[in-house]
Structure 1
Amino acid sequence: MALIRRFAADDATAVANLFQAVFRQSKAPAPASLADYFVDIYLSRPWFDAEIGALVYLDNDGRVRGFIGVNVVPMIWQGRSIRAAYAGSLMVEAPENDPLAGARLLRAYLNGAQDLSISETANTASFGMWRKLGGEMVVSRSYEWVRVLRPLSLAATVAARKLPVLNGVRPVTSWLDAIAAKALPSLPQLSTTTGRDVAPCELADVILQTAAGYALRPAFDPAALSYLLAHAARKENRGAPVARIVHDRRGEPIGGYLAHGDKHGVLRVLQTFSLPAKADLVVDDVIATAQRIGASGVAGNTQPEMMPRLQTLGCLYVLRYVTVVHARDPTLRAAAHNADAVLNGIGGECWMRMLGGRFD
């Protein structure tokens, strides 16, 4: 009989190889650093919970054939403590041989001791399983917003993912974009803000400050934030980390963000942090920074407080992954849909290096 049990350190190599095959579509053995990373984030991280964790699916011979990553995040909801469990990396070897393996892993995770179950990265297949088990799409957090700044450079950047030789033409397209910009609609006037570049770890204070006003939020502490930010900064496949703290006209910090990008590429925003009434200022600083570093475009996951300004700036919206929630308490489930919540990015699962990191 197939068996589902908690992930253990001895499973790391098998799980890393499974990740290599399913998500990287590579037949090469996974590097040891990737196996070590699975042990780190699922067994050694802050907020480790002995009752809730990642799960493996074993076949009749005791071989690892499936996995679901689970990270527990202590949260505060209307002043009381709850436990959220973020799911990621749901994967099954040769699912056609056991079509129910993925659903069994997901069901075992949802039957855990957590109060709130969340995923930021559900694809079409996994979202279908979530729905059958009572999960709900959080529409306001499920879209990727994109602001095109240099259309020819952006097209070359996207094409270069499949044809790396096109990386050499990006400087030329950037020059052509400067000419074409005269015929394109210009950006609205950006707000005047004073932002400063910081090391990613320096975002901790502004995260604590801005998250404190939300009704549903992670119970951040300095040690856990340091761990998360150190991992989130290392997304080598997305470019250099860009961390900024944004001040208002009086010089008071009102938010910040962590992103990754390089000249000619896309500045990908992992998450913005802001007082809800000041979100426009942070969004404008993101756009201004992308222009300053010569990015061809900007992209990030939608957050409710950002939406009015993103629409004003003429952003496009793409549905790539779904943010989905599940909770036995209907009032808690409703709270996850509310704008008065911090759910994604650093507070969720997207800080992990498996999303954009490089392992050798």
Structure 2
Amino acid sequence: MDAELHCDPTPPMPARPAEAPRRPGGVRPMTPRDIPTVARLFSKTFRSGKTELAPELAPYLEAVFFGSPHYRPENGSIVYDNGSGVSSAILAVPMEIAVHGRPVIAKLLCAFMADGKEGAAGAAHLARHLRAAKQDMCFSDTSSPVSADHWVAGGGVVLPVQSLEWHRSFRPLSAAALAGSRLVPLLRSRGVLHPLGWIDGALRRRRSSLHPAPASGCRVVEASPEEVFSCAGRMMERFAIRPVWSKPEFDWLLSVAALNRGLGTLQFRNVVDDGGRAIGTFLFFGRNRQEAMVLNVLCEEGREFEVIGQMFFHLDAEGYAQASGIAQPFMMNAVLRQRWLLFKHRGYFCMVTRHAEIKDAALRNDIYIGGLASESWSRLLTDF
């Protein structure tokens, strides 16, 4: 809930309902008028080393937190107004989730911020507002340990598998340099990566385990967003809790995800059998043939080994040094068959709900969530 947050023109936004009347104090929906204040609060809370407010931050906040087709004041971001201004805020994106076929508007919580001691009281009010007894469903995939404890104290649950990222190295020395470049940007330079690439080539000739084995009877083909959309709907039907991804919402999510140019180009692939029938689908950010960040991977039930294996084989063949993605219970067995694999804890995946059926399904791992149905695509995690 305190997600450490991490356009080019902003994507077109649907018409918004009229703003709710501004009340003098207390917890209230965030309005577009609050964006300059919230942008400063975000920068102060999460980017304390920066002295200037990023010029693209305010437009990005408006695009993401007021642009969803499901946005309404009652299911969007909230702020605490102490009477003289906003002192704390929780940024939220509404997302439509199917619960045993019944649609529910859930809230993806992206940043919990407060302005020092003055904002602490407001933060407490906001936290109480989001307790399980009051919410259909709220979730976050980047919560800190302290925040995760607050979620549980408020009646929520932690999803341990979805709290992990898998990382598969294909060219390990280059992958290590890319990982280190987050602290030392020079490691991403051509002068460093080019010689490491030669050494990786020699290592790959000696270590066959660096090459993912292809799955028999299937191949990866380029796909359009429409083809991925068509496959995803039927492949998620086996989960009791899953994104609805109506066409307007899916298109909007792709448009805001594509704004994160720092992660690379958003790409789409299907895994098809020998007859050309799609048995799996995945979408990922690919950056300079260096890193592939898989947002979502789905498959027909029982085809996990083929789809996961062929996905890794394809990403290696395209020349990426490494690939990463959120862990999902249904595909863990297939992912664990890979060599040169590690798991990293980026943040706790937490959720609260007043509906016992949602909580029970989540604890049984009968849930599909993450990727586009999380904030993995957000520029707030990496920019500004």
Which residue pairs with 2:330 in the alignment? 305
Give the 3 Å change call, closer, same or farther, for CA 227–148 of structure 1 in structure 2.
Answer: same
Partner SS for 1:189: coil
TM-superposed deviation, 1:344? 1.6
Partner SS for 1:174: helix
Contact 1:67 1:92 in 2 (8 A): yes
Which residue pairs with 1:92 in the alignment? 114
Which residue pairs with 1:57 in the alignment? 80
Contact 1:240 1:262 in 2 (8 A): yes
Matches within 5 A, 1:11-26: 11-25=34-48, 26=50
Matching residue within 53, 72, 80 for 2:94 = 72
Which residue pairs with 1:346 in the alignment? 372
TM-superposed deviation, 1:248? 1.9
TM-superposed deviation, 1:201? 5.3
**Counterparts of 1:306 and 1:127, CA distance in 2:** 24
Contact 1:239 1:262 in 2 (8 A): yes
Asked if 1:29 corresponds to 2:50, the answer is: no
**Counterparts of 2:325 and 2:370, CA distance in 1:** 11
Give the 3 Å change call, closer, same or farther, for CA 175–340 of structure 1 in structure 2.
Answer: same
Residue-by-residue CA offset, 1:61-80 (whole Å, 9 max, x unaligned): 32x23221122223222233
- One-letter identity of the residue aligned with 2:364: N
TM-score by length of 2: 0.84
Asked if 1:9 corresponds to 2:54, the answer is: no
Which residue pairs with 2:126 in the alignment? 105
Asked if 1:250 corresponds to 2:275, the answer is: yes
TM-score by length of 1: 0.89
What is the total number of aligned residue pairs between the two structures?
A: 355
Which residue pairs with 2:6 in the alignment? none
- One-letter identity of the residue aligned with 1:256: T
Contact 1:231 1:353 in 2 (8 A): no
Residue-by-residue CA offset, 1:5-54 (whole Å, 9 max, x unaligned): 210000111212222333344221231x3212222322231112343221
Matches within 5 A, 1:1-360: 3-25=26-48, 26-31=50-55, 33-59=56-82, 61-62=84-85, 64-94=86-116, 98-99=119-120, 101-110=122-131, 114-166=135-187, 167=189, 168-184=191-207, 186=209, 187=211, 189-192=213-216, 193-200=218-225, 202-263=227-288, 265-314=290-339, 315-356=341-382
Listed as ranges, the gaps of 5+ residues in structure 2 are 1-23
TM-superposed deviation, 1:336? 1.9
Listed as ranges, the gaps of 5+ residues in structure 1 are none
Partner SS for 1:153: helix
**Counterparts of 1:65 and 1:293, CA distance in 2:** 48
Contact 1:235 1:260 in 2 (8 A): no
Contact 2:87 2:119 in 1 (8 A): no
TM-superposed deviation, 1:253? 1.0
Percent identity of equivalent pairs = 26
Partner SS for 1:66: strand
